[in-house]
Amino acid sequence: MIVTTTDVIQGAVIESYLGIVTAEVVYGSNFIRDFFASIRDVIGGRTASYERLFEEGQQKAIEELKQRAQRLGADAVIGIEFDTGTINVDQSGVLLLITATGTAVKMR
C-alpha cells in the first residue's frame, strides 16, 4: 500500500475516494525518560528518547492508517498529516498523543 503526504501519486489515477482514515497512538508517562528530558531542558540540547518515541509513534500510526484503509478496500492513503498533543490525566501525569490522518483512495 502506498502512503504519502502528497495529494497525488505520480503516474497513478485515483478511481475513487473512500474516505478519511485516522489513527491514534497514545503513550503514557515514563519517569526515567521524563527525568532525563527535564535535565535537557536545563542544560539544553536534543532529547533523543523523545525523538525516538515520536518516530516510533508516527510509524505505528502509519501502520494503523494502512490497516484501516485496507478495510475500506483502498490501494493508498494520500494527504497524510501528523499531529501531536498531550492529554492531562491528573496533576502527576500526561499522556502523549500522536494522530495521523489521511484519505483512503482506490487507484486504477
Report the alpha-carbon distance of residue 78 to residue 66 in Å, rounded.
11
Tell me how many domains the chain contains: 1
How far apart CA 40 and CA 34 sit, in angstroms, is 10
Decide: 5 and 83 in contact? Cβ < 8 Å. no
Query: pLDDT digits over 31-42, tens only?
Result: 445 554 555 554
Residue 94 has pLDDT above 50, yes or no: yes
Indicate the residue type of 108.
Answer: R
- This model's pTM is above 0.85: no
Percent helix / strand / coil, the chain, rounded to 5: 35, 45, 25
User: What CA–CA distance (Å, rounded) separates 89 from 87?
Assistant: 6
Q: pLDDT tens digits, residue range 49-63?
A: 777 888 899 999 999
CATH assignment at residue 42: 3.30.110.70
**Distance separating alpha carbons of residues 18 and 35, to the nearest angstrom:** 44
SS3 18: strand
Predicted confidence (pLDDT) at residue 67 exceeds the cutoff of 90: yes
Domain that holds residue 60: 2-107
